Amino acid sequence: DADVTQTPRNRITKTGKRIMLECSQTKGHDRMYWYRQDPGLGLRLIYYSFDVKDINKGEISDGYSVSRQAQAKFSLSLESAIPNQTALYFCATSSLETQYFGPGTRLLVL
């Protein structure tokens, strides 16, 4: 599972700051996803990309943006962080149905 990596693993930031979370994969998968996990709410899809030129909004995209810099890299940005964006963020990749998750980034917005 070192095939999917996320940086940073932990981050504390302040309200209003811009922050970027990065995801890289060596699996050669075309499809990449960003999820957030909150206690009791499961995994909710923020954005997904099926190739470098394809970006799609998920169910909770407001307040977030993404960039697919290459097949292997997919970044998630919070343009102006707010406290209710405090969560655990996971990147995932897939070639077909099965999704493989990165180790997660724990974000705290003060």
Partner 1 sequence: GENVEQHPSTLSVQEGDSAVIKCTYSDSASNYFPWYKQELGKRPQLIIDIRSNVGEKKDQRIAVTLNKTAKHFSLHITETQPEDSAVYFCAVDSGGSNYKLTFGKGTLLTVNP
List 11, 27, 44, 73, residue binding partner 1 (CB under 8 A): 44
Identity (one letter) of the amino acid at 28?
G
Strand-pair partners of 43:
37
Q: Does 10 bind partner 1 (CB under 8 A)?
A: no
Tell me the window of 17-25, 61-69, 73-81, 89-97 that interacts with partner 1 (CB under 8 A).
89-97
Hey, what amino acid is at 75?
Answer: S
User: Which residues are registered as beta bridge partners of 82?
Assistant: none
Alpha-carbon gap, residue 96 to 73, rounded angstroms: 18
Interface with partner 1 (CB under 8 A): 1, 31, 35, 40-45, 48, 58-59, 90, 94, 96-104
